[in-house]
Amino acid sequence: MKPMISFCMMAGSLSLAIFCGFATQILANSDLHHKWEMLYLVHQWPVTVCKMNVNDCKDPLMYWTIHGLWPDKAGECNRSWHFDISELKDIMGDMKQYWPDVLHPNGTHFWRHEWEKHGTCAATLEALNTQKKYFGKGLELYKNINLNSYLLKAEIKPGNTSYELAAIKEALTRFYSVTPKLQCLPPEEGQLQTLGQIKFCFTKEFMLRNCTEPKPDSISSSDHGHKYDKIEDLSICEDGLLYYPAYVEV
């Protein structure tokens, strides 16, 4: 019996080693999938959001709001870490003003989506490892960028006037000393592309950096099913004229 017991123990050890090897490989692949290098602070123009969701939106805000704070190469890193609105009670006023759900102002689904999709990945940084820290940092960076104020100073205002993409990019680069990404809704026949989002890039130390990496700029397919998925139709603005709308055209 002893040889048989010894054989079984050896077989069990071998199986355990194989299992551990597979588990280690899975964890390594998971870490690689969730590894990210920089953050996007994404500003959205509510009028364009409403243009893309005309049946769900009325009287859009007339200032740039936060769409999200997104790690560049990760999504849905911890599906068990659910959104808890109570963690935002101390910053709720700013959340409603600067990070609102443009389509559903009284709902919280948008914030839940941003946390579960992007926040759980950003949480690998100690500075972003709670929901309050994550949303609070997004608000802080947004206020520091102060995009609304700067665009007005640069006399870049929404309305019927079209703008050259190069002129807007040059103005932003001159002021912030980095190059952001501008995203537009592609033009319909006979119309201009429409400015929809402006992304500023940050290092993990929250320092502004250039957004120059040649990587796909649309939201991943795992976002499907959310009202804001239509924003994935935005693409990098093409050289030439663009429209910065002041009202929703029906």
3-state secondary structure string across 11-69: HHHHHHHHHHHHHHHHHHHHHHHCCCCCEEEEEECHHHHHHHCHHHCCCCCCCCEEEEE
Of all residues in the chain, the percent with pLDDT exceeding 70 is 78
pLDDT band of residue 219 (cuts 50, 70, 90) is: very low
The three-class DSSP label of residue 106 is coil
CATH code of domain 38-243:
3.90.730.10
Q: Residue 147: what pLDDT?
A: 98
Among 43, 113, 116, 118, the one annotated catalytic = 118
- Would the pLDDT of 151 be above 60? yes
**Is 118 noted as a catalytic residue in this protein?**
yes
What tens digit of pLDDT does each residue of 165-200 get?
999 999 999 999 999 999 999 998 889 999 999 999
**Is 67 noted as a catalytic residue in this protein?**
yes
- Write the single-letter amino acid at 234: L
The verdict on pTM exceeding 0.75 is yes
For residues 249 and 214, what is the distance between their CA atoms, to the nearest angstrom? Answer: 32
Q: What is the DSSP letter of 69?
A: E
- Span of 150-164, 181-195, 217-231 with lowest mean pLDDT: 217-231
- Would the pLDDT of 32 be above 90? no
Domain ranges in the chain are: 1-33, 38-243
Among 43, 67, 113, 116, the one annotated catalytic = 67
Among 114, 155, 205, 226, the one annotated catalytic = 114
